[in-house]
Amino acid sequence: MSSEAITEKKDPDRWQTPQEIAPSVMRQDVPTTARIIGVAALVFGFAPGLLAIVFDKTGTGARIPVGWGMFMAMVGLAGMLYHAARDTELEIRRAYGIFALVWLILAIAHAVYPTEAGVGRGFLPWGYVSLLVGLPFALVYARNEDDPVWRQRAIYIVGATGVVLAGFGLIGGSIKADFLLSYGLLLSLAGLAYLSATAGLSGSESDIGYKTGSLVAAIGALVALAAIGRSLLATYGWLGVPKDPRYLATSGILLVGLGLTYAIVGVSLISDRQFVVLMRRELASFFCSPLAYIILVVFAVIAWIGYAIFAWGVSGGDGPSQLPEPIIYRYVWGFIPIVFAVLSVPLLTMRLFSEEKRTQTLEVLMTVPVEDVSVVLSKFAAAMIMFVLAWLPFGLYLIALRIEGGTPFDYRPLVSFFLALLISGSAMIAMGLFFSSLTNNQLASGVLTALGMIVLIGFHIIKYFSVIERSNWAPFLTHFSFLDLWGSALRGQLILSEVISHVSLAIFWLFATVKVLEARKWL
């Protein structure tokens, strides 16, 4: 006997429990704060600042002075960059990707547009500024893009731009010394930045990243060897090369420096050694957050303010036409570079260990088979790279001074100053790294580092007190004051005892940091 299945009849008028569908759709959080900052930066900063610059260049009257316009545009770009890094919505990131592409097109237009002075003469400064503005926005777009096709296109555009810039800068600079001292140096540095960004976006394990890093290293080695060889030939007049003993001091040393920089960066991009891998991790932690971009933009603004004050003082308000020597000493030695150093070191070092302690990622890092020395040195090297990048605008603005002034000046003290900056900066960064290893509070680490910087400045001040000046403490304070090292370098001297003192100070702080990490194992 067959039986019928008993089924419940559904009443259309009765409420039915909705069927559950798993997994539940998760809605992405809306970065409201970042959007407010981005809109405010666009409306009240970048747009009016850009209009003031355009009106000034076209001869149209503007209510906002061009100086304030440039400042507003820079601040606006910083806010927009923060928004671009935080907001990953499809329409937003594509809009910022187009924004980056527009800046690259503007740079190309400035390079090929004919002016009264000739084709490409309008590239500096606005074409180069367009390159510098377009790169961080392209980096943020490529990092946030989840479509592999669009992301790959962005990486290809950044890489191709880097190859073109490096080619024009290095080849043109090797052929003509005047081109190297103006356009060549800037194009070479911009090309290195774009090629490094290409390798960083792709990753050293990818085919594009490995080939890009290898290309950068090969180009650097070739340029350095060619510059050394040509310097020897020009110094002694061998193989029919015209004798020019000044070639090494004018162009050779710059080409060797650029070549070695390319080679070191290229090897760092593809090496799988423990120290290099950890250093890349630290640099990625800088550039994958808005902190690095905000620091670079803010310090570029500070450097621009210092340059504007200097150019106004030199020319008496009529533009940089008079260049009394020593121009480098007058440009660097002042209040703004000191404030720059006091601010940059705590900001760059306060999060290195403190943030990892707070988020407890340091425990995970120390469980993998890595040495304490490699961890400390990798964080130190990454912070030093950021320190150099933050100071780079101080040197680049001098090229604008040379172009606008039309009068050559002795730039060689700038080379010795940057060497002194590296030496003193290593001691300061190592000190900040030590204070960061002591606490899990970033603010406390930054305050301790800032106090340490003030003490170092105090060494330079108190040695002029009559009691100290007549005692044996004066030479000691001179050796450990970074301002005395800067002053000697700006006069074209690097005193060996002062160099050894700062290097020893850096080694001491790094050694103390390693011991702090080792002590954690016994707690």
DSSP line for 220-256: HHHHHHHHHHHHHHHHHTGGGPPP-TTHIIIIIHHHH
Cis omega (within 30 of 0) for bond into 245: no
479 vs 44: which has the higher pLDDT: 44
Helix (H) or strand (E) holding 59: none
Judged on CB neighbours under 10 Å (0-12, 13-18, 19+), 165 is: buried
Q: Is the pLDDT of residue 182 over 60?
A: yes
DSSP 3-state of 113: coil
Question: Can you give the pLDDT at residue 21?
Answer: 53
Angular region, 158: left φ>0, alpha ψ -120 to 50, beta rest: alpha
CA 434 to CA 61: how far, in whole Å?
Answer: 53
Count the neighbouring beta carbons within 10 Å of the beta carbon of residue 142: 24
Q: What average pLDDT does the structure give for the chain?
A: 80
Among 74-78, 258-262, 461-465, whose mean pLDDT is lowest? 461-465
Question: Can you give the pLDDT at residue 7?
Answer: 52
Q: Which two tokens stand for residue 294?
A: 């905000």
What does the pLDDT average to over 67-82?
Answer: 81
Cα atoms in the Cβ-side hemisphere of radius 13 Å centred on 310 = 26
With residues binned 3-state (H G I as helix, E B as strand, rest as coil), the percentages for the chain, rounded to 5, are 75, 0, 20
Kindly give the pairing relationship between strand 118-119 and strand 114-115.
Answer: antiparallel
Q: Is the pLDDT of residue 98 over 90?
A: yes
Are the C-beta atoms of 455 and 432 separated by less than 8 Å? Answer: no
Question: Can you give the pLDDT at residue 483?
Answer: 82
pLDDT tens digits, 19-37: 555 455 455 566 788 899 9
Q: Which two tokens stand for residue 409?
A: 């000046």
Chain-centre distance for alpha carbon 346: 16
307 vs 101: which has the higher pLDDT: 101
- pTM score: 0.73
CA 124 to CA 406: how far, in whole Å?
Answer: 13
Question: Can you give the pLDDT at residue 118?
Answer: 64
CA 258 to CA 241: how far, in whole Å?
Answer: 23
What does the pLDDT average to over 322-335?
Answer: 68
Give the type of residue at 240.
G
Question: Can you give the pLDDT at residue 324?
Answer: 56
Q: Is the pLDDT of residue 425 over 70?
A: yes
Question: Can you give the pLDDT at residue 99?
Answer: 94
CA 411 to CA 326: how far, in whole Å?
Answer: 9
CA 277 to CA 268: how far, in whole Å?
Answer: 8
CA 73 to CA 118: how far, in whole Å?
Answer: 28
Q: Is the pLDDT of residue 318 over 50?
A: no
Q: Is the pLDDT of residue 319 over 60?
A: no
34 vs 178: which has the higher pLDDT: 34
Are the C-beta atoms of 433 and 376 separated by less than 8 Å? Answer: yes
Q: Which residues contact 297 (CB under 8 A, 6 or more apart)?
A: 74, 77, 78, 81
Highest mean pLDDT among 94-103, 122-131, 341-350: 94-103
* Residue 470 pLDDT class (50, 70, 90 cuts): low
Percent of the chain with pLDDT over 70: 81
In angstroms, the Cα distances linking 85 to 82, 92, 131, 141, 299 are 5, 10, 19, 8, 19
Q: Is the pLDDT of residue 216 over 90?
A: yes
CA 174 to CA 172: how far, in whole Å?
Answer: 5
Q: Which residues of 327-364 are buried (b: 16+ CB within 10 A; e: fewer)?
A: bbbebbbeebbbebbbbbbbbbbbbbbbbbbeeeebee
* Residue 97 pLDDT class (50, 70, 90 cuts): very high
Phi and psi of 416, rounded to 5°? -65, -35
* Residue 155 pLDDT class (50, 70, 90 cuts): very high
What does the pLDDT average to over 83-88?
Answer: 86
* Residue 407 pLDDT class (50, 70, 90 cuts): low
Among 211-220, 262-271, 386-395, 422-431, whose mean pLDDT is lowest? 386-395
220 vs 13: which has the higher pLDDT: 220
What does the pLDDT average to over 246-274?
Answer: 84
* Sole residue written with tokens 């490529």: 142
Q: Is the pLDDT of residue 16 over 70?
A: no
Give the type of residue at 267.
V
Q: What are the beta bridge partners of residue 95?
A: none
